[in-house]
């Protein structure tokens, strides 16, 4: 059964359920009831009433769902809830909780395998432990990263249309084609087509200006330097996550201190990372404005010729489908989740003298300029699809890490819609098993993070459903 599509709103969903109940013969009425119940209506839905007796109830439910639509207009771009509740967060508050680390410590005291696991975590953190400020500025550039897609090798044109490349942290400023082994950037194929941002003239985006590759109405142009920037920040995000995990497992403050330095570098540059598309177009305006008006954009985007600006990021359907700021394929949530968990695990750390590793100013900057900033595209996208699951997860995890309960509700709403709508009653999906795996990979940690979550004591959520000691 695949009637419930991603674009279906709560109101239309309830309306269809009402119609199904009116025609009690429709086979899927029962699962719709189950889905509605599990999707937050459980307190209002009678468990065992025969379908023919609950039509009136459905009418009430429809009104309720329409009302819910209004409630969802809560301005998630407004961070005042964060200012109010940030001091109520007891860290660690996201995926990994204090009890997990207590258990890990006990295991490490008892078992060789657990000691080895801690050693492995520390080993993974060693490289990034050595990064100094100069290296940080290099590996986390001030210019918006480009795309890892649609980067054809002009020399051998292997692996159309994306190309196939090798990037390693040992040689962070080059990529090597897996087809012809040529290294780029390369004088033979110069990036001589340069676009300068109007929003931030310090940012320029360069492309190979020779042949372009026409792909479903769009001319793709490789930007080897853009690919490299994207690879660098992806690597840095994984590195900071590894550092934070090493700190959580050992409580050695050096790991927390380095986590802080990297997160502060991200917080310095991220607010000026433009929303851009995996096809190589950049929304050349303040991302706060772009996120709210992606279709159409208020101003012309930067696009490499012969494409012409059309105030849309390609592809032109769901404007978030291939969008990112540090990333490029509609799944910025993976990136933001790593940074949010890294912050959550280390923000209360103290050094050997008992002094806090993070100052209050550090915390404010990271929470505001990186983590909340990272949710802009998530909260602007109401859809549930195989990419946005990871973004809902990150929104909730940021909400837990910084103390913004409405972000947690936004993410939790997505979690239940994935469980009850995107996955079908028989456990399959209307898409392929591979896409089911992709969705699970993006959202399973939210189940763990939500388990045990409670809203701040005096918080009244917009949907009137307080989350209290959630049992997933
Ligand atoms: Zn090649």
Cα 173 to ligand 1 centre (Å): 17
Cα 257 to ligand 1 centre (Å): 41
pLDDT by residue (tens digit) across 98-133?
999 999 999 999 999 999 999 999 999 999 999 999
Structure pTM? 0.85
pLDDT at 463: 83
3-state secondary structure of 371: helix
DSSP one-letter code for 6: T
Phi/psi at 20 (nearest 5 deg)?
-65, -40
pLDDT at 464: 85
Residue 324 CB coordination number (10 Å): 25
Mean pLDDT of 219-233: 98
pLDDT by residue (tens digit) across 447-470?
999 999 999 999 999 888 999 999
Q: What is the DSSP string of 96-124?
A: SBHHHHHHHHHHHHH-HHHHHHHHHHHHH
Q: Which residues have CB atoms below 5 A from the ion given as ligand 1?
A: 153, 155-156, 177, 179-180
Q: Is the pLDDT of residue 15 over 50?
A: no
Cα 301 to ligand 1 centre (Å): 29
Query: Which residue has tokens 């492995």?
Result: 120
Cα 152 to ligand 1 centre (Å): 8
Cα 214 to ligand 1 centre (Å): 18
Write out the two tokens for 70: 């209004």
Cα 304 to ligand 1 centre (Å): 21
pLDDT at 57: 38
Cα 220 to ligand 1 centre (Å): 16
Q: Which domains does the chain have, with CATH numbers?
A: 3-65 (no CATH), 71-143+228-450 (1.50.10.100)
Instruction: Give the C-alpha separation, 267 to 245, whole Å.
Output: 20
CA dist 8 → 409, 420, 429 (Å): 19, 13, 16
**Are 210 and 186 spatial neighbours (Cβ–Cβ below 8 Å)?**
no
Residue 325 CB coordination number (10 Å): 26
pLDDT by residue (tens digit) across 244-262?
999 999 999 999 999 999 9
Cα 226 to ligand 1 centre (Å): 17
Cα 189 to ligand 1 centre (Å): 11
Cα 149 to ligand 1 centre (Å): 15
Cα 224 to ligand 1 centre (Å): 12
């Amino acid at each position: 059964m695949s009637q419930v599509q991603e674009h279906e709103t709560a109101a239309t969903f309830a309306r269809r359920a009402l119609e199904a109940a009116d025609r009690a013969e429709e086979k899927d009425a029962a699962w719709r009831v189950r889905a509605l119940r599990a999707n937050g209506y459980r307190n209002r839905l009678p468990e065992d009433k025969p379908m023919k007796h609950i039509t009136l109830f459905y009418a009430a439910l429809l009104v309720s769902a329409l009302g819910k639509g209004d409630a969802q207009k809560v301005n998630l771009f407004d961070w005042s809830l964060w200012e109010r509740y940030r001091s109520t967060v007891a860290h660690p508050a996201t995926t990994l909780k204090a009890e997990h680390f207590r258990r890990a410590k006990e295991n490490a005291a008892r078992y060789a395998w657990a000691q080895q696991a801690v050693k492995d975590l520390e080993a993974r953190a060693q490289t990034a432990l050595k990064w100094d400020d100069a290296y940080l500025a290099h590996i986390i550039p001030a210019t918006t990263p480009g795309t890892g897609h649609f980067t054809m090798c002009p020399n051998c044109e292997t692996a159309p249309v994306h190309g196939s490349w090798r990037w390693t942290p040992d040689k962070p400023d080059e990529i090597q084609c897996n087809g012809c082994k040529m290294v780029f950037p390369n004088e033979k194929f110069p990036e001589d087509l340069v676009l300068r941002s109007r929003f931030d003239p310090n940012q320029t985006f360069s492309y190979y200006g020779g042949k372009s590759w026409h792909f479903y109405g769009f001319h793709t142009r490789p930007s080897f330097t853009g690919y490299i920037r994207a690879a660098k920040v992806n690597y840095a995000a994984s590195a900071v996550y590894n550092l934070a995990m090493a700190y959580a497992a050992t409580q050695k403050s050096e790991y927390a201190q380095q986590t802080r330095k990297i997160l502060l570098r991200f917080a310095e540059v991220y607010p000026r990372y433009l929303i851009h598309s995996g096809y190589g177009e950049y929304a050349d305006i303040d991302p706060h404005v772009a996120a709210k008006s992606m279709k159409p954009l208020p101003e012309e985007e930067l696009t490499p010729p012969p494409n012409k600006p059309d105030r849309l990021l390609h592809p032109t359907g769901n404007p978030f489908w291939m969008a990112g700021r540090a990333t490029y394929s509609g799944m910025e949530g993976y990136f933001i989740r790593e940074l949010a968990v890294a912050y959550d695990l280390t923000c209360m750390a103290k050094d050997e003298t008992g002094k806090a590793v993070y100052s209050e100013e550090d915390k404010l900057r990271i929470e505001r300029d990186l983590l909340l900033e990272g949710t802009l595209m998530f909260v602007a996208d109401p859809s549930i699809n195989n990419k946005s699951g990871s973004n809902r997860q990150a929104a909730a995890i940021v909400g837990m890490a910084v103390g913004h309960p409405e972000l947690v509700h936004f993410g939790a709403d997505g979690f239940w819609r994935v469980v009850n709508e995107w996955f079908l009653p028989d456990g399959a999906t209307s898409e392929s098993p591979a896409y089911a795996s992709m969705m699970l990979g993006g959202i399973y940690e939210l189940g763990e993070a939500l388990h045990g979550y409670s809203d701040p004591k005096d918080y009244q959520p917009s949907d009137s459903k307080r989350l209290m000691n959630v049992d997933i």
